[in-house]
Structure 1
Amino acid sequence: MKVALFSTKPYDRESFEAIDHSHEIDFFPRRLTEDSVHLARGYPAVCAFANDVLDAPVIHALREGGTEVLALRCAGCNHVDFDAVAETGLRVVHVPAYSPNAVAEHAVALMMAVNRQIPRATARVRMGNYSLHGLAGFDVVGKTVGVIGTGKIGAVFARILKQGFGAHVIAHDPFPNPSCKAMGVEYVSRDTLFEQADVISLHCPLTEESHHLVDSGAIGRMKPGVVIVNTSRGAVIDTAAVIDGLKSGRIGGLGIDVYEHEGPLYFEDRSDEILTDDLFARLLGFHNVVITGHQAFLTHEALEQIASQTLQNLTCIETGTACEREIIPTDEQAD
């Protein structure tokens, strides 16, 4: 199958070219948008990433250009307009479980970087300042850690915190995970989690219900000094409300790998550009905020699985074999 792979980075090309396959892949560094969709004309398959634009105009343009398959090399599909998918008959596949460990372990890294103020301490040492004043963190053992979303990633995070750190783990999920229950994770209401947790880690998909799940009301119910970690989707957090929480001290620390307006920012070197996003600039001004640029997935093992599963998905579609990772638009997705 002839494939146009958008938003190509060197690690994408290396991982796809390392796998023996029969597909003809052309790599495009450009992000897929309405301005670049013309590059996909004549390609039966298009491979897109989390920050590519897959709204109705792009979906229709892809179909009109001859594209039959949209292969997402990511788990999330909140950026796909499924109304347009249903209208055009475009088939969509994704990679829902390429490496839960990679994302969960990065969430732990963010939690500890915020808690023990690693970036701030490192910056001090580089400047010859060896003072420890203001760098005190807390022991995680015995603390209450709240996990919102206990799918594959959330379950791994819960296991690490409970069995590795000795934390008391509570969780909220409309569909409790039996493996979490088996390890002693206590499921509670969302409000109870907000009220009791010393650390809150977000691992839920972005839906209409989870959009701005962490808003001013939720923050007002949280413990003073709570640490919030987000490696799911940026818009699960209301950034303006979180900034207010940081300013008031209600939020004691924030570790995020995703940002609700990251589309124009992430995955490119913008060090020579003026930052025009005022909310993001405000976040960067807090010493108790640690931000990474959507890299939680980025391990060698995960990249290998992303490429392998994406290519398997394309082979299934090409050969007419049932594909377990195909997304069939539901009425909810199409609403």
Structure 2
Amino acid sequence: MKIIAYGVLTDERPLLEAAFEQAFGDRHELRCLHLFLNRDTAPTAAGHEIVLSSVNDTLDAEVLRALSRGGAELIAQRATGYNNIDLDAARELGLTVARVSYYSPYSVAEFAWALALAVDRRIVRAAHRTREFDFRLDGLLGRDLHGRTVGVVGTGKIGTAFTRIAHGFGMRLLGWDIAENPECLALGMEYVPRERLFAESDLVSLHVPLVPDTHHLVDARMLDLMKPDAVLVNSSRGGLVDTDALLTTLRSGRLAGVGLDVYEEEAGVFFLDKSLEVMTDERLARLMTFPNVLVTSHQAYFTRDAVGQIAGTTMRNIESYLAGRPNDDVLVRPDSSRR
């Protein structure tokens, strides 16, 4: 059986190939491509029954139709999020769609804190200065986090790991989610309405999935509620934040800092080298001009531990599909098998 993987990063490839070798040996064939899956590249999947997609691939109805025509039957997403996949179209085409529902929550939680600390303590600016032997402290004044209030938006596995670290800092804990997490309550978290969380928090970190109800969850109204010297961190999905509203807020001089590992129009930009091109995304380019904004390229999950777990779970999803076994990672299951 032929399997094709899209958007395979250089550091990811050996981990993906090792997991494949352990699971299947030479019984199947794996083809790894660095290019992303979209309408232009979908024809390269012809003849492959299984497609391994990445978070920045585009799997809209047109792409899924092309994959189906080429013989694809299983889409195995190498990520937890799946907002880039048209599940209704997949269902109509009789495709099976699976994802990785769990991997190390510590990878994202720890990186979210790295962003928060880097923004709060102006670490990137300081590092750039010292490389040029400029050792002044002007403009590098930060704040203690101990005793301040953190608002955790979404208290699932990643949000809970983030909360444990906040508890270690000695922070007051506010949370918002559709259900209260006993682990967070045990740490002293108080669940409050979203408006109160944004208004009272010195640091707000986002840890919810991108679904219709959370699209632009951080809009102009929420940003206006935030303290002028608060910090906002998003390591979840770019669409949670209304970029235009954020730019307006930053231009007004509000917010001490923003740490973004994701961006709502990141597809076609993140994971690629754009250094020799003109940046045509004016909103992203404008974000980069603010000295209190730090943007990274969707790397929060990118640890050996997490990527290894993602690869292993992806192979187990393939095994379950081939064996016809039930699998909680399956998002779309056709009414009848086409195999």
TM-score by structure 1 length? Answer: 0.96
Contact 1:5 1:25 in 2 (8 A): yes
Residue of structure 2 equivalent to 1:18: 18
CA distance in 2, matches of 1:55, 1:328: 15
What is the CA-CA distance between 1:217 and the residue it aligns to? 1.1
Shift of 1:250: 2.0
Residue of structure 1 in register with 2:103 after alignment: 98
Gaps of 5+ in 2: 334-339
Matched, 1:294 2:298: yes
Alpha-carbon shift at residue 127 of structure 1 (Å): 1.8
Q: Is the 8 A contact 2:198 2:225 kept in 1?
A: yes
Which AA in structure 2 matches 1:6? Y
Q: How does 1:55-66 map to 2 (within 5 A)?
A: 55-66=60-71
Per the TM alignment, residue 101 of structure 1 is displaced from its structure 2 partner at its CA by: 0.4
Q: CA deviation at 1:300?
A: 0.6
The aligned runs of 1:74-89 (5 Å cut-off) are: 74-89=79-94
Give the letter aligned to residue 71 of structure 1: A
Look up the equivalent residue of 2:23 and give its one-letter code: H
- Work out whether residues 87 and 332 of structure 2, in 8 Å CA contact, stay in contact via their aligned partners in 1: no
Map of 1:106-145 to 2, 5 A cutoff?
A: 106-145=111-150
Q: Is the CA contact (8 Å cut-off) linking 2:90 and 2:332 kept in structure 1? A: no
Equivalence for 1:52:
57
Question: Partner letter of residue 10 of structure 1?
Answer: T
2:337 is aligned to: none
d(CA) in 2 for partners of 1:96, 1:21: 19
The CA distance in 2 between the partners of 1:44 and 1:79, in whole Å, is: 20
Amino acid at match of 2:289: G
Pairwise CA distance, 1:320 = 1.2
Could you tell me how far apart the structure 1 residues matched to 2:208 and 2:147 are? Answer: 24
2:204 equivalent to 1:200:
yes
Which residue of the partner structure matches residue 332 of structure 1?
A: none
How many pairs does the alignment contain? 328
Distance 1:169 1:83 in 2: 39
What residue is the counterpart of 2:234 in the other structure?
230
Q: Is the 8 A contact 1:258 1:293 kept in 2?
A: yes
Q: Deviations over 1:90-129 (max 9, x none)?
A: 1111112111100000000000000000001111111221
Match of 1:265 among 242, 262, 269: 269
Q: Name whichever of 7-16 and 72-81 sits farther off.
A: 7-16
Determine whether 1:186 maps to 2:190.
yes
Shift of 1:271: 1.2
Give the distance between the partners of 2:151 and 2:9, measured in 1 at CA: 34
Question: Which one of 252, 257, 261 corresponds to residue 253 of structure 1?
Answer: 257
Task: Quote the offset at 1:247 in angstroms.
Answer: 1.8
Identity of aligned residues (%): 44
Kindly report structure 1 stretches of 4+ aligned residues shifted beyond 6 Å: none
Structure 1, unpaired ranges of 5+: 330-335
Structure-2 separation of matches of 1:176 and 1:79: 28
Give the letter for the 1:41 counterpart.
A
Query: Partners in 1 of 2:279 and 2:220 — Cα distance?
Result: 26
Q: Structure 2 residue aligned with 1:32, among 9, 19, 37?
A: 37
**What is the SS of the residue equivalent to 1:135?**
coil
2:59, 2:85 within 8 Å by CA — same for their partners in 1? Answer: yes
Deviation for aligned residue 1:178: 2.0
Greater shift in the superposed pair: 23-32 or 117-126: 23-32
Q: Distance in 1 between matches of 2:317 and 2:76?
A: 8
Measure the CA separation in 2 of the matches of 1:237 and 1:9.
26
Query: In the TM superposition, what is the alpha-carbon distance from 1:324 to its structure 2 partner?
Result: 1.9
**Matched residue of 1:147: which SS?**
strand
Per-residue Cα deviation, 1:122-166 (whole angstroms, up to 9, x for no partner): 11111221111111111111110001111111110011111x211
> Does the CA contact (< 8 Å) of 1:242 and 1:251 recur in 2?
no
Look up the equivalent residue of 2:107 and give its one-letter code: A
**Alignment partners' CA distance in 2, 1:178 and 1:40:** 45
- Kept in 2, the 8 Å contact 1:78–1:207? The answer is yes
Letter matched to residue 301 of structure 2? F
2:129 aligns to what SS in structure 1?
helix
Separation of aligned partners in 1, 2:314 and 2:307: 11
Are 1:4 and 2:14 matched, yes or no? no
The code of the aligned residue for 2:152 comes to V
